[in-house]
């Protein structure tokens, strides 16, 4: 005859000597009692917000990731300059592009 091996001998008391079937039967008794499907709704509770986090941005305001290739020396110099001005690397590059666009003369279309 086969000896029934306990499923979890480290469990305390009689639970440590139970087989899988016995443990399943014991836990099924408690699952019915604490099941959330039969729980009553509390009337004074506010519903959760539909979405959490940042509000969505308009399509024209969304940031795009850009891969920029630089030599290690230029990148190190950019990091030092950004640190002195209290900017991130991306902030420094953004300011440089805006400054360059502002200094560029506008071209007019010829008629």
pLDDT of 73 above 80: yes
**Digit-coded pLDDT (tens) for 27-58:** 877 766 565 566 666 666 666 666 677 778 88
Residue spans of the domains in the chain: they are 1-35, 65-103
What torsion, rounded to 10 degrees, do the Cα atoms 75, 78, 84, 86 define?
-100
pLDDT band at 92 (very low <50, low <70, confident <90, very high): very high
Cβ neighbours of residue 91 under 8 Å, at least 6 residues apart? Answer: 82
Cβ–Cβ contacts within 10 Å for residue 65, how many?
A: 5
User: For the chain, how are helix, strand and coil distributed in percent, rounded to 5?
Assistant: 50, 0, 50
Section 74-88 average pLDDT: 95
């Amino acid at each position: 005859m086969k000896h029934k091996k306990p499923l979890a001998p480290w469990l305390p008391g009689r639970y440590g000597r139970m087989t899988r079937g016995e443990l399943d039967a014991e836990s099924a008794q408690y699952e019915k009692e604490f099941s959330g499907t039969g729980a009553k709704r509390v009337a004074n509770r506010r519903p959760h917000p539909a979405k959490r986090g940042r509000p969505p941005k308009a399509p024209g305001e969304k940031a795009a990731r850009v891969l920029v290739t630089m030599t290690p020396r230029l990148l190190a110099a950019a990091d030092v300059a950004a640190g002195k001005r209290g900017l991130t690397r991306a902030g420094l590059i953004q300011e440089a592009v805006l400054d360059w666009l502002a200094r560029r003369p506008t071209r007019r279309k010829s008629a």
